[in-house]
Amino acid sequence: MESQITEFNADELQAPAWLNAQFIAEILSAYEKVDLNVTDLQISPATAQGDHYASVMFRTKVEYTTAKGKFSKPLIIKTMPEEEGHKKDMLAESHLFETEIGTYCHALPEFERILQEAGDYTKLFVPCIYHSLKPRQVMIFEDLVPQGYTVIRNSPPSEGDSKLVFAKLAKWHAVSMKVINEQPTFLKEFKYGFFEMPTFNTDPFITTGMSDFIKMLDKTPELKKYKPHFDKIKDNYLDRLKVEMHEYHKYRRNDRNYVLCHGDFHLRNMMFRHNKKLGAYDDVMLVDFQFCNLVPITIDLTYSIYMLMEPEQRWDMGKDLINYYFSVLLETLRKIGYKGDMPTETGLWDQIHNNKYFDLFLISTLLPLMMGVKSNTLKMHEALQNAEVRAKSYFYEGYVKDVTKLLPKFEKLGYFNDL
């Protein structure tokens, strides 16, 4: 048996020793329910360095034989970083893999079943063929790339691509609303999102974002007038944000809509399938469900404004795409027989604007990094680890322009009232 491992650098690109022919053979034998022998195993990184902060992923091409002949299967292996240190310790204390396993193996199969009963055969996930939490945290999937799916990297998604994304999210959200309404305990395990990470209150990436943002406001003449608003909240806005994020579990309101959110709804967590006959993408598959959580319906939508949309869409607060999302949400709720109070478009926007601390967190902490990565002026893993790199990202021309467009919108919407 030959094993070929592509040359890597850094922990997220180095295949661990346990990822070998024997391990894969045992997994495939159990999954296929046959005796088999792995004859060749090729391993390479499944993502670019820095694409996934909370896990590492490898692509394997497995060739094997059974009594029926020779076969091959492309797989994706997702696991924890191997290197010792702060990052590994932090991730080991988190619920990331438990959450993702629950999403793939518990929530999404039920969501698809509900859609299929209503005559909608939308695929919400790729099946997980193996998962474990001990002795190591691992998940294995069939690779989507040979099925024609790819990540869009070097260009923004078209309007049609974006509509595929928001239609898929709307169906996911709609079914989760039905499940929450009719099976209140079915999703009870989903209570650990990004804001429940063990070091959320101590990670410098989180704790220094607002101070770096305020420094940028102070040094930018046309933005300096907004500085007093952010000075007022700098010491407590994260606590107020947590109240928004914990609303379903602690402060649930009858006039709000809640969903199982994706939790990290950006372009690198989406794989698009190209249809050669159409000359365009005809499907999108969402991936990476480590931050799925029960939250207000607004969370994925607000996140998408800053982490998925292009500047011109963001300056309009994502109006067109979010309204399109709402139309699909409403259509799906009716199709699947949702028995709760139907949401309204006005109500959705009111809820988005009422969760203003998420906007303030995203614009001050995540948006500068995202824009720096998209413009190729910085690498995410460097920014997360280096305070000087992060501080420089706040003065990127495109980011300052975004802030200049958005803060007057915030003011008009009343975000700075009653801080």
Do the beta carbons of residue 259 and residue 175 sit within 8 Å? no
Residue 270 lies in a domain: yes
Does 57 share its domain with 154?
no
Q: 258-261 and 293-296 as β-strands: parallel, antiparallel, unpaired?
A: antiparallel
pLDDT of 8 higher than 70 = no
The pLDDT of residue 196 is: 84
Does 65 share its domain with 169?
no
The rounded distance, in Å, linking the Cα atoms of 232 and 192 is 29
Does 108 share its domain with 209?
yes
More confident residue, 167 or 195: 167
The pLDDT of residue 348 is: 97
The rounded distance, in Å, linking the Cα atoms of 353 and 246 is 17
pLDDT of 339 higher than 70 = yes
Which residue type occupies 402?
Answer: D
Does 173 share its domain with 206?
yes
The pLDDT of residue 9 is: 39
The pLDDT of residue 167 is: 98
Reading the block at residue 244, the tokens are 């928004």
Residue 350 lies in a domain: yes
Residue 137 lies in a domain: no
Residue 89 lies in a domain: no
pLDDT of 198 higher than 60 = yes
pLDDT of 85 higher than 80 = no
Does 22 share its domain with 124?
no
Does 254 share its domain with 154?
yes
DSSP string, 350-394: HHHHH-HHHHHHIIIIIHHHHHHHHTTSS-HHHHHH-HHHHHHHT
The pLDDT of residue 195 is: 85
Instruction: Please report which confidence band the pLDDT of residue 7 belongs to, taking 50, 70 and 90 as the band edges.
Output: very low
Residue 332 lies in a domain: yes
By residue range, what is the domain housing residue 17?
2-84
Does 79 share its domain with 99?
no
Which of 84, 117, 141 is a domain's end point? 84
Give the model confidence (pLDDT) of 143-170 as tens digits: 999 999 999 988 899 999 999 999 999 9
Give the model confidence (pLDDT) of 210-266 as tens digits: 999 999 999 999 999 999 999 999 999 999 999 999 999 998 988 899 999 999 999
Q: Which residue has tokens 């024609």?
A: 148
The pLDDT of residue 174 is: 98
In 183-245, which ranges are E strands?
Answer: none
First to last CA, the chain: 65
Q: Which residue has tokens 């063929």?
A: 129
The rounded distance, in Å, linking the Cα atoms of 255 and 340 is 11
pLDDT of 6 higher than 50 = no
pLDDT of 97 higher than 50 = yes
CATH number at residue 183: 3.90.1200
Does 79 share its domain with 101?
no
pLDDT of 2 higher than 60 = no
The pLDDT of residue 103 is: 98
Distance of CA 1 to the CA centre of its chain: 38
pLDDT of 337 higher than 50 = yes
Span 72-97, mean pLDDT?
74
The pLDDT of residue 395 is: 93
The pLDDT of residue 373 is: 82
The pLDDT of residue 82 is: 66
Reading the block at residue 379, the tokens are 């690498």
Does 98 share its domain with 80?
no
Element (H, E) at 155: none
Span 286-315, mean pLDDT?
96
pLDDT of 49 higher than 60 = no
Does 261 share its domain with 116?
yes
More confident residue, 157 or 14: 157
Do the beta carbons of residue 45 and residue 58 sit within 8 Å? yes
Does 153 share its domain with 43?
no
The pLDDT of residue 372 is: 85
Instruction: Please report which confidence band the pLDDT of residue 52 belongs to, taking 50, 70 and 90 as the band edges.
Output: low
Do the beta carbons of residue 163 and residue 324 sit within 8 Å? yes
0.85 exceeded by pTM:
yes
Residue 157 lies in a domain: yes
Element (H, E) at 253: none
pLDDT of 357 higher than 90 = yes
Mean confidence (pLDDT) of the chain: 90
Residue 262, φ and ψ in degrees, nearest 5: -70, -45
Residue 43 lies in a domain: yes
The pLDDT of residue 92 is: 60
Does 378 share its domain with 354?
yes
Number of folded domains in the chain? Answer: 2
Residue 136 lies in a domain: no
